[in-house]
Amino acid sequence: MSLEQNPSDSDEADPFDAFRQFFALERDVLVLSVAMFAFSLGFQMTSRYMAEYLSALGATAVVVGLFGTFGNVISAVYPYPGGAISDRIGSRYALTVFGLCSTLGFGIWLAAPALADVTVGPTSLGIVAIFVGLLLAQAWKSFGLGASFAIVKQAVAPSHLAAGFASTETFRRTAFLVGPLLAAALFFPFGSSDGDVRFAFQLILLVALVFGIVGTLVQHFRYEAEADSLSSEFEDVGQLVADLRAMPDELRPLLVGDTLVRFGNGMVYVFFVIVVTRFLEVGLTLSVPAVGTLEFSPQSYFGILLGLEMLVALLVMIPAAKAAERVGLKPVVSVGFAVYAVFPVLLITAPENAGVLAGLFAASGLRFAGLPAHKALIVGPAERGAGGRVTGTYYLLRNLIVIPSAALGGVLWSGISNPVTGEELVAGSPTLAFTIATVIGLVGTGYFLLFGEEFEAYRA
């Protein structure tokens, strides 16, 4: 199967090309598009609610933070060996294995409440099952990151890299829009009690499980594997060290700033749903003519907020990529970093008002405007043929440093006590955790503004 285009065919990336190829039913694009949509939908409609699910199962803020950090570990370590596994067994079988793992992960999450009454040390087997499920559910999501970057770099002229990434991001994130809205619809008939949350989320997981099965079957039986090139050996640690040393100097300020921004956001990202549903407890009441009054619980309204956020993201990514061709990549990336940084403190200090939250999440969608430009800034300085390795190395290093962020956020949320006497050593609070997260994010944004470099192809 070939995913590459000849840059000479079209010097400029078409942001809507992914949709045109899909509706033209070209076999290779159709297969990967269906799989990408299915797994992105399943993971997005579940992952943003996991803190709420854990809380309904009796987890503390510290456990929720540890769950976020566990997800960070998986995000850091999966992509690099994922590419090696694909090279060893071929894309078709690798995609099938990762798809089966993700689907099994959704199934374990579905069964978790049945295990909630079984005690395992200080916690329950149900909560342990959530952690085990994440180990599997995130498999497909983290597969092939470096390869996708390299494909775009090879297919698009250097001065249009941001538009090329906007094309792939637009298609993938359509599932990110549909998933939370579907979750909101499934939460709608239920209340906010822990029992209602558990039951409603199990319905959501059942839908995710079905999407996972469909995605796995489609990609296994319809994927063209003739073009797969197999390798007889895995890359060793020495190759990883060499890749780290070979990282272009231009990427270092971006990596530092990006890591700080992501660390701050990672401290509180997993808690966003808890803030809306249990801290602010904001739902939505609408009067609809000929229908009557509609009452959306905080859990259901959170899905609507996520859908609004992604709608804004889809609307702004392509114009932002085009704007980058005129003003440069650095200003667009800086705006995205700034939105990432300030959102936590704005959310935790927001009034208990549905309209205000809608405005905040809509503004949060602007952080995605910088993603295509950010990816272009990462892969742009790489030598031709090295885009995948540079991308994989960049994300591995960034994600390794970000690993403890969510656990730190959970500790700052709950506070620190003496394990022997129980005396409180640090008085934690949600406001403290979210404020520190914003401070760290702003430091990262400032660093990139001061020291970040523009990609040569985008210089005026």
For residue 392 the two structure tokens come to: 């994989």
State mean pLDDT over 215-222. 76
pLDDT tens digits for 101-132?
889 999 999 999 999 989 888 889 999 999 99
Q: Classify each residue of 58-84 as buried b or exposed e, where b means 16 or more C-beta atoms within 10 Å of its C-beta.
A: ebbbbbbbbbbbbbbbbbbebbbebbb
CA angle 417, 421, 422 (to 5 degrees): 35
For residue 167 the two structure tokens come to: 């094309």
- Please give the pLDDT value at position 228: 46
Average pLDDT over the chain, rounded to whole? 80
User: What are the extents of the domains in the chain?
Assistant: 17-224+241-458
Between the two ends of the chain, the Cα-to-Cα distance in Å is: 38
Going by C-beta distance under 8 Å and a sequence separation of 6 or more, which residues neighbour residue 8?
A: none
Name the band, by pLDDT with cuts 50, 70 and 90, for residue 267.
Answer: very high
Query: What Cα–Cα distance (Å) separates residue 303 from each residue in 89, 99, 359, 438?
Result: 38, 25, 14, 23
- Please give the pLDDT value at position 317: 79
The amino acid at residue 141 is K
Q: Looking at residue 13, what DSSP letter applies?
A: -
What pTM was estimated for this model as a whole? Answer: 0.83
The fraction of the chain above a pLDDT of 90, given in percent, is 44
Name the band, by pLDDT with cuts 50, 70 and 90, for residue 25.
Answer: very low
pLDDT tens digits for 373-412?
787 787 665 555 444 566 767 878 888 999 999 999 999 9
- Please give the pLDDT value at position 159: 60
**Sign of the dihedral through C-alpha 148, 19, 204, 221:** negative
Angstrom distance (rounded) from CA 291 to CA 42: 30
pLDDT tens digits for 127-183?
999 999 999 998 877 654 544 454 455 445 666 555 555 555 566 778 888 999 999
Question: Which CATH code is given to the segment(s) 17-224+241-458?
Answer: 1.20.1250.20
- Please give the pLDDT value at position 347: 97
pLDDT tens digits for 305-320?
999 999 998 888 778 8
- Please give the pLDDT value at position 224: 58
Judged by DSSP in three states, 213 sits in: helix
Helix or strand (DSSP H, E) at 119: strand 119-120
Going by C-beta distance under 8 Å and a sequence separation of 6 or more, which residues neighbour residue 244?
A: 393, 397
State mean pLDDT over 7-20. 49
Going by C-beta distance under 8 Å and a sequence separation of 6 or more, which residues neighbour residue 228?
A: 1, 90, 91, 92
pLDDT tens digits for 43-56?
888 999 999 999 99
Residue 329: pLDDT above 80? Answer: yes
24 exposure class (CB count in 10 Å sphere: 0-12, 13-18, 19+) = exposed
Name the band, by pLDDT with cuts 50, 70 and 90, for residue 227.
Answer: very low
Helix or strand (DSSP H, E) at 132: helix 125-137
State mean pLDDT over 56-78. 91
The amino acid at residue 354 is A
